[in-house]
């Protein structure tokens, strides 16, 4: 059973799970594009999404969390995981790896 939600409903729920409004909008757009590209439906599960994706205020913060991998640039990070840039901000969202 899949429930269709709007971008605003998605944002409201994801803000309650640690994402910013801008970050949740970027994640929503990414997931909608993924659905379209793969011709599949993604079930909205905010807890699972929170486990699968993390928003960082900036690249430096993210690279610090993964310092054990010796990543230096956003390209290094992209070699390891999906990176979603939040429009107009330094924030990024990465898929857990």
pLDDT at 97: 82
**Residue 58 — left, alpha, or beta (φ > 0 → left; ψ -120 to 50 → alpha)?**
beta
Could you tell me the pTM of the whole model? 0.91
pLDDT tens, position by position, 72-90: 999 999 999 999 999 888 9
pLDDT tens, position by position, 31-70: 999 999 999 999 999 999 999 999 999 999 999 999 999 9
pLDDT at 64: 95
Q: 11, exposed or middle or buried, with CB in 10 Å at 0-12, 13-18, 19+? A: buried
């Amino acid at each position: 059973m899949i429930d269709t939600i709007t971008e605003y409903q998605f944002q409201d729920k994801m803000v309650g799970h640690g994402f910013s409004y801008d970050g949740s909008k970027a994640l929503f757009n990414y997931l909608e594009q993924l659905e379209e590209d793969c011709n599949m439906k993604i079930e909205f599960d905010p807890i699972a999404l929170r486990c699968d994706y993390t928003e960082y205020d900036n690249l430096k913060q993210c690279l610090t969390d993964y310092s054990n991998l010796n990543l230096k640039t956003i390209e290094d990070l992209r070699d390891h995981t999906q990176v979603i840039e939040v429009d107009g901000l330094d924030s990024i969202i990465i898929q857990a790896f």
